Chains A and B, each alone.
Chain A
Amino acid sequence: MSRDSNYDHHITIFSPQGRLYQMEYAFKAASSASGLTGVAVRGKDSCAVVTKKKLPDRLVEPKSVGHTFSITPNIGCLTTGLTADCKALVQRARYEAADFQFKYGHTIPVHVLARRIADLAQVNTQSASMRPLAVLMLLVGVDEEHGPQVFKVDCAGHYLPYRAAAIGVKEQEAANFLEKKVLDYPNYDSDQTVRTAIMCLGHVLGSDFRGTEIEVAYVEGVNGKFHTLTEDEIESHLNAIADSDN
């Protein structure tokens, strides 16, 4: 079968150049399927994630179409890609975190969870029976060991810790924006962290937002809870940004 090497486009086997096409296609789906861009920033003792809220229809219940999820009370994530795959991955992550807590009596550290999710993603790139999940995930949390952490986990099973990261359609432009002040972020308090993430998104999408149009979530401090901001809280951040620009 592999001598045809036409199957290298259908299942995850190597192409003649040594590429894995299914993985690359999964990436494409994860980056562009949802049409969204997500940004995460790591501050001194907090992490923030931001994305645009996209309501397919005005009749849709807004709370049911979020892209930020909490995995444990202290760890949360932002996902882009195929919605069903994202939800499946989040559920699995929640299971893994709960299982860790059950086995070891300790909350799962962020990097352990990131590695576990990445290892699960790798299995789908080596075993032909399941396709890779078309999901890019920004995992955020605050650890006792390492402080605030942002991990980008992708469909290929790569996971890397970031000072600030972006996923989705406008990933490259967002990364360019974030790179400019990357050395300042470790000193940012939670407000600055949240605002940097919002400003990055605003810069890339080229529009001003209202509080109803974006989803913002953050976690602060080792005992902090990962929570999404209300529209009023978002408005006050947007106002603060607008004031500092003027």
Chain B
Amino acid sequence: MGDSAYSFSLTTFSRTGKLLQIEYALNAVANGRTSLGICAKDGVVIATDKKLASILVDTDQVSKVEPITESSGFVYSGVGPDYRVLVRKARKSAQKYFRMYREHEPVSQLVKTTASVMQEYTQSGGVRPFGVSLLVAGVDPDLTPRLYQVDPSGTYIGWKATAIGKNHVNAKNFLEKRYQDDMELEDAVHTALLTLREGFEGEMTSSNIEVGVVSITDGNFRILTPEQIQDYLDEAN
């Protein structure tokens, strides 16, 4: 864990047996902008609210949805700078895997590695846990679409559909009503946009949200362009 002068862990057990720093980190996540993901039978979609603090910001160059390998991508809720660290580490680990095995790292493996990194920061000396929860979308080599959530504690859970961040309670209720096991990717994208709009402050447009999809047909994780998002929004109206 580097050259920290602190050789003792900052995350320690409370008298009641809780790891408070991790709980506080989860609060930091719950203060972040909403993100959600839906796992359809033929692909996965993840989306987030990209609302920025000022119209002076140049939104084109800001991205929260990040591709990690060819067939997987992350989105987050919580502390942005911490997220960048995880993205970088995940990409590096994916490259290491490819170098060793000459095959693309499966999503499930990627998630395990990333979760393990996050766990390290809850136990190592002189560091605090990451203030982000990740949603990982990807298609495994056996063509199974997968959606995972990774928490500041290093716990990872596979989901059919989930939401994190500010509005996650309402969003998850909404998703629970709308989710169907045999959903197709197109429907999933629509549902994702509707769910995002539910809790959106102000008007939701193609430039203040970000959407990433990966389909089992080509296994490529791609971020939708504003034009493509606009098409979906037009259909929804």
Which one of B3, B8, B55 lies within 8 Å of A182 (CB-CB)? B55
Closest residue on chain A to residue B1 by CB atoms: A127
Contacts A2-B12, A11-B10, A119-B84; is A161 near B27 (CB within 8 Å)?
no
Residues on B lying within 8 angstroms of A by beta carbon are 2-6, 8, 10-15, 20-21, 24-31, 52, 54-58, 61-62, 79-82, 84-85, 88, 121, 126-131
Q: Which residues in window 109-148 of A have CB below 8 A to B? A: 111, 115, 118-119, 121-122, 125-129, 146
Instruction: A3 to B30: give the CA distance in the assembly, Å.
Output: 21
Contacts A16-B27, A160-B57, A161-B57; is A127 near B12 (CB within 8 Å)?
no
Chain A contact residue count (CB 8 A cutoff): 39
| Cβ–Cβ contact A122 & B85, under 8 A | yes
0 or 1 for each of A1-34: is its CB under 8 Å from B? (1 = yes): 1110100000111111111100000000000000
| Cβ–Cβ contact A156 & B127, under 8 A | no
Which one of B3, B6, B8, B81 lies within 8 Å of A156 (CB-CB)? B81
| Cβ–Cβ contact B30 & A2, under 8 A | no
Specify which chain A residues have a CB less than 8 angstroms from the CB of B121 in the assembled complex: 126
Is A179 located at the chain interface by the 8 A CB criterion? yes
| Cβ–Cβ contact A162 & B24, under 8 A | no
Specify which chain A residues have a CB less than 8 angstroms from the CB of B12 in the assembled complex: 1-3
Interface majority SS on B: helix, strand, loop or mixed?
loop
Q: How far is the CB of B124 from chain A (nearest CB, A)?
A: 10
| Cβ–Cβ contact A17 & B56, under 8 A | no
Contacts A2-B21, A3-B15, A20-B131; is A162 near B56 (CB within 8 Å)?
yes
| Cβ–Cβ contact A165 & B56, under 8 A | yes
Which one of B13, B62, B80, B127 lies within 8 Å of A126 (CB-CB)? B127
Which one of A14, A126, A156 lies within 8 Å of B27 (CB-CB)? A14
Q: Which residues in window 22-63 of A have CB below 8 A to B? A: none
Specify which chain B residues have a CB less than 8 angstroms from the CB of A11 in the assembled complex: 10
Specify which chain B residues have a CB less than 8 angstroms from the CB of A156 in the assembled complex: 79, 81
Instruction: A162 to B52: give the CA distance in the assembly, Å.
Output: 11
Which one of B3, B26, B55, B56 lies within 8 Å of A18 (CB-CB)? B26
